[in-house]
Amino acid sequence: MVELNTAARGGAAAIEAVRVFDSDIRIVEPEFSVDGRYVATRDGRMRVDILVGGERVFTEALGPSGGWSWTPDQGVAPASPRGAAALRHGIELPFKLHPDTGLIERDRQLRALQVDVDPVPQMIETEYSDYRPVGGVLFPHRQVERAVASGETLATVSVRAIRLNAPVKDAHFLAP
């Protein structure tokens, strides 16, 4: 199945050539909608900046010195060990494959939606769709997360743009 997914997404060489994934996203949850920028690197660094009305209101990152978050009111705070693990896990993106196409269709995990906000785990199903080619690799441009027990949609993430291998400075992943 891994070979099928690799071929469906553009081949091993194209996938392995991606060293930096940089995307503009839109997140819709039941209580709010925000824009964001998500950057992840093959060597395990990531950062997501959340914006409301063009102003940054939240940052979460995993850098060389560990995980951290930032808000305008509270400044910088280190991520909990579970929060840092969740950030690392998000970079790794374990999926289940759709047997007809070889593309990732859905994944189920027992986890918290946002560990450092609400650490209570629940079974969450994530559905991936709207695959589009970027740099010779297919990426899902829509992700819907649902609580399995209730069927409630917890979050919908729409990718607005993807930039592959864009230059990113190491300082981007360090806490201010």
The per-residue pLDDT for range 132-155, each reduced to its tens digit, is 999 999 999 999 999 999 999 999
Q: Model's pTM, two decimal places?
A: 0.87
pLDDT digits (tens, 9 = 90+) for 22-74: 999 999 999 999 999 999 998 889 999 999 999 999 999 999 889 999 999 99
C-alpha to C-alpha distances, 122 to 60, 113, 145, 147, 148, nearest whole angstrom? 21, 8, 12, 7, 8
Residues 86-143 have pLDDT tens digits of 888 777 654 445 767 888 888 888 888 887 778 899 999 999 999 999 999 999 999 9
Asked whether residue 81 carries a pLDDT value surpassing 50, the answer given is: yes
| One-letter amino acid for residue 67 of the chain | G
- 172 touches 28 (CB < 8 A): no
- Please, what are the domains in the chain? 2-173 (2.50.20.10)
Are the CB atoms for 42 and 18 separated by under 8 Å? yes
Average pLDDT over residues 2-8: 86
Give percent above pLDDT 70 in the chain: 95
